[in-house]
Chains A and B, each alone.
Chain A
Amino acid sequence: NAGVMQNPRHLVRRRGQEARLRCSPVKGHSHVYWYRQLPEEGLKFMVYLQKENIIDESGMPKERFSAEFPKEGPSILRIQQVVRGDSAAYFCASSPVWVGQAFFGQGTRLTVV
């Protein structure tokens, strides 16, 4: 999958804790997307970022969720005060340009207990 790295692969959090999911895009890619996948469902768009900018966050819940893609370092999806309904697989994808082929990481499976 052209090198999109997500970590951790699995994350367990208790209700009320914070979850931080990291995504390192393919080297040279400046566009990052985050998606959420619930069991037995497709991938739902959450947020689209370029370096230091949020381009579209229309799919992200207004509260508790935030995302960033700093000039240096990985993109971070942050979920504060997690609830059981946040349990899902979170996928990150990167692409080099507008209208480019997107490559996905292996996902982070978040379980809230």
Chain B
Amino acid sequence: GIQVEQSPPDLILQEGANSTLRCNFSDSVNNLQWFHQNPWGQLINLFYIPSGTKQNGRLSATTVATERYSLLYISSSQTTDSGVYFCAVEITGGSYIPTFGRGTSLIVHP
């Protein structure tokens, strides 16, 4: 099956810093989503981004489908950004089931 690798696995930042999270995938995809799992366990949709670039406030994401990766940018990080960031992909011609990476655990210190 498709391999989804996220890096780095862990990230510690000081409030105000910027960061880039990466998601590599091993096959062509129809769909890619980024999620934030907050410390209470809730999964929050960040971006639905099979290709191109999107921005939402301090967050933005870029997917380069031909090169099989996606990047999530967090600027001016805040303590509320802490949690785990997951990417999930659906492969082209597959069974339309989102497959998750293992996530990047982010801690933002005040």
A residues sitting closer than 8 Å to B (CB atoms) are: 1-2, 31, 33, 35, 41-45, 48, 55-56, 89, 91, 93, 98-104, 106-107, 109
* Contact between chains at A48 and B88 (CB < 8 Å): no
With A42-B101, A48-B95: A102-B88 Cβ-Cβ less than 8 Å:
yes
Q: Can you report 15 A-B residue pairs in the complex whose CB atoms are below 8 A from each other? A: A1-B45, A31-B96, A42-B100, A42-B103, A48-B95, A55-B95, A56-B95, A56-B97, A93-B98, A99-B90, A103-B45, A106-B41, A106-B42, A106-B43, A109-B41
| Min CB–CB distance A22 → chain B (angstroms) | 17
* Contact between chains at B88 and A41 (CB < 8 Å): no
* Contact between chains at A48 and B96 (CB < 8 Å): yes
B residues sitting closer than 8 Å to A (CB atoms) are: 30-31, 33, 35, 41-45, 48, 86, 88, 90, 95-103
* Contact between chains at B42 and A101 (CB < 8 Å): no
* Contact between chains at A42 and B86 (CB < 8 Å): yes
| Min CB–CB distance B42 → chain A (angstroms) | 5
Q: Chain A contacts of B35 at CB under 8 A?
A: 104
